[in-house]
Structure formats: C-alpha cells, structure tokens
C-alpha cells in the first residue's frame, strides 16, 4: 500500500510538472526590471485651470492568436484583397512561446514630460507611452523584414480631421497611419530595422476633457503578396477623467489659468501635443534591444516540480527494492 501511494505521488508530481512546463511555453507578458525601465500603473494627478484630473494606463492582457473579431472585421473591410491567416497553435491556444517584454509603460498628465528622456518630450496634454520588445523563443518567428505589427485603435477622440482630431468623435480603426495599401503599423527610426520592437505615444492636447484610448496589438508576419499570418498579441491603452477644481469653485477664488498653448518656442519640441499617435523609435532605444529577457518569477519552479517527480519515482523504486 505505501508503494502504491509513492507511485501515485510521483505520477501526480510529474503530471503537474508537465502541465506547468507546457504553460510556461505559451506567450507571456513580462516587465523589464533594469534601471532603464519606466513602468508605472499609478494614476497621474494634474490640474488644468478650473479642472483637476487623473490619467492612467490600462493593465495589458494577452490576446489570442489571429486577432480579435473586431480587428478581423476592420481588416476585411479596409483590405478585402488581403488574406489574413490565423497562426497555428504551438502550446495550448497560443501561437508563440516568447514574451512581450514591456520596457516603458506609463500615463502622462499635462505637465508630465511624456517621452523624456528617450525621445522629444510632449507637455500640456494627456496620453501614454509604450515601449516593448517581443523576445522570441525556439520555434517562434525570428526578427526579419517579414515580421510586422498589426494594431487596432478605439478611442473617444478621433485622429481625424488633422491636425487636432475631433474630441467626442468615436473611432475604431486600423493603426497604420491611414494607409490604404498596407495594414501594418508604421515603424520609423531604429526600430524599422528591429521589427520586434514597438514604440507608441498616443497623446491628446485637451487634458480638460475625458478620454479613453485602447489598442489591440498583434505580432504578424508577411508571407507573400498581400498575405499575412497573425500571431498572439496584447491589449493596452490609457484613460483620463476630470472634474471641477474644488479649490476654486463656489468660494470666489480665481483658478490659475491653464498652461500656455504649445508653440514652436515652448522648448523640448513639445508643440506636437495634438498628434493622435506616434510610431517613433529613436536611436536612444537601440541599446535597450540588446538586454536579455527578464521574466517575473513564478511561484512554482518547473524544474523543481520535475525534480519532485523524479524524487518520487526514485523513492518508490528504493522501497520496492527493500521489499
């Protein structure tokens, strides 16, 4: 009877180890823990004249391979002559084993130096900044000219008409700089040669108003003429909310004026505050692409579980031999 129990314990440990090992091979979201990272999920408080507000980033989540139904609908409507293939699964329902490693992710208030010091900063608006790498594992598509990003944006402040967009006009679009012949995100700067990096800074120049801005971002690979495979992805985004400033409402106190409008003399290149979205990756990011991947520690080690299973089997054999 004890021998049977040892066999059961060993088998259970091995099964648990296998299940955990399989799940560890699926795509994941990790966060850079080096000194160069800037990740902040806290709400950013700010004041804008007679309004006070707060902005924050949305917790990123993994999205299943092939794109969401909404993304596929947009792709079919805007690119009917393209073929978009759902990548086959390699582990569970995941088509990737690697990690979406987030290096920078934070919200911007109206006085936040949004982008400082990695790129030209923006001020006097609201938005967020995301900088991530996809770190491939064995069997994943490797970095080459065919590797792309496909994204969908849903927001309450439309990118059109230029240059300031239209607040209150809802948008649901492919995030590709409005190109009609290509569904992929536009990458410029050094990340045009490192396609597995993605950098974006969606920003709005009216911080006194409420906004939401959400994105669905997928890794993709162009495999032929107007043909692409869509792998796993992530969702991310930002929000802000404002309310009357209690310090200067109903008491006769005059509120301070809001910050000045952005001009070419505002310093730091902060005059593009109304731009809807950026696909910018400047040379300062090139050094970060060489960092080795850093995963968030798991509560249970796969190798520890395998060792436990092996210990159970050895123990069972020893008992059987002694008998």
pLDDT at 292: 31
Residues 146 and 15 in one domain: no
Residues 307 and 215 in one domain: no
Look at 95 and 8; give whichever has higher pLDDT: 95
| Long-range contacts (CB closer than 8 Å, 24 or more residues apart) made by 74-77 | 74/152, 74/172, 74/173, 74/174, 75/150, 75/174, 75/183
Closest by CA to 102, choosing from 167, 37, 57, is 37
Least confident window among 105-114, 156-165, 299-308: 299-308
pLDDT at 230: 98
Q: What is the DSSP string of 109-135?
A: -TTS-BTTTTS--B-SSEEEEEEEEEE
Residues 190 and 302 in one domain: no
DSSP state of 142: P
Q: For the chain, what is the domain count? A: 2
Mode of pairing for the β-strands spanning 227-244 and 83-86: parallel
CA distance 33 to 180: 39
Residues 7 and 130 in one domain: no
Summarised one tens digit per residue, pLDDT across range 172-196 is 999 998 899 999 998 755 455 566 8
pLDDT at 252: 56
pLDDT at 306: 40
Residues 6 and 152 in one domain: no
Residue ranges of alpha helices (H) inside the chain are 2-24, 69-78, 302-322
pLDDT at 49: 87
CA distance 83 to 222: 10
Average pLDDT of the segment spanning 157-162: 84
Look at 293 and 56; give whichever has higher pLDDT: 56
Residues 7 and 126 in one domain: no
| Structural domain range at position 185 | 34-293
Average pLDDT of the segment spanning 54-67: 97
Residues 100 and 228 in one domain: yes
Residues 80 and 15 in one domain: no
Partners of residue 56 on adjacent β-strands: 239
pLDDT at 310: 45
Is a pLDDT exceeding 50 seen at residue 50?
Answer: yes
Is a pLDDT exceeding 80 seen at residue 282?
Answer: no
Look at 142 and 290; give whichever has higher pLDDT: 142
Residues 114 and 180 in one domain: yes
Summarised one tens digit per residue, pLDDT across range 73-130 is 999 999 999 999 999 999 888 999 999 999 999 999 998 989 876 678 888 899 999 9
pLDDT at 55: 98
pLDDT at 246: 87
pLDDT at 253: 63
For the question of whether the overall pTM of this predicted structure is more than 0.75, the answer is no
Q: Is residue 133 a contact partner of residue 197, using CB atoms and an 8 Å limit?
A: yes
What's the pLDDT band for 234 if we cut at 50, 70, 90?
very high
Residues 170 and 123 in one domain: yes
Residues 2 and 129 in one domain: no
Residues 134 and 275 in one domain: yes
């Amino acid at each position: 009877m004890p021998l049977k129990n040892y066999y059961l314990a060993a088998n259970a440990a091995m099964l648990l180890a296998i299940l955990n090992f399989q799940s560890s091979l699926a795509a994941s979201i990790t966060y850079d823990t080096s000194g160069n990272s800037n990740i902040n999920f806290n709400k950013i408080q700010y004041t804008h004249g007679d309004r006070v507000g707060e902005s924050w980033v949305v917790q990123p989540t993994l999205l299943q391979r092939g794109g969401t139904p909404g993304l596929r609908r947009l792709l079919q409507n805007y690119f009917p002559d393209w073929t978009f293939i759902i990548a086959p699964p390699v582990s569970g329902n995941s088509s990737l084993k690697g990690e979406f490693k987030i290096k920078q992710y934070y919200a911007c208030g109206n006085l936040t130096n949004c982008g400082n010091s990695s790129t030209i900063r923006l001020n006097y608006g609201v938005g967020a900044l995301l900088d991530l790498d996809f770190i491939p594992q064995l069997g994943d598509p490797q970095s080459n000219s065919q590797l792309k990003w496909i994204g969908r944006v849903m927001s309450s402040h439309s990118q059109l008409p230029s240059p300031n967009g239209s607040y209150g006009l809802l948008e649901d679009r492919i995030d590709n700089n409005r190109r009609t012949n290509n569904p992929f995100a536009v990458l410029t700067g050094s990340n045009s040669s490192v396609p597995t990096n993605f950098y974006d800074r969606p920003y709005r120049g009216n911080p006194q108003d409420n906004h939401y801005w959400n994105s669905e971002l997928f890794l993709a690979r162009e495999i032929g003429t107007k043909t692409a495979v869509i792998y796993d992805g992530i969702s991310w985004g930002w929000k802000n909310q404002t309310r009357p400033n209690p310090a200067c409402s109903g008491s006769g106190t005059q509120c301070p004026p809001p910050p000045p409008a952005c001009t070419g003399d505002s310093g730091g290149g902060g005059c593009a505050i109304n731009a809807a979205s950026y696909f910018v990756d400047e040379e300062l990011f090139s050094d970060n692409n060489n960092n080795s991947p850093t995963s968030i520690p798991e509560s249970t080690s796969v190798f520890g579980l395998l060792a436990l299973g092996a210990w159970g089997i050895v123990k069972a054999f020893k008992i059987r031999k002694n008998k």
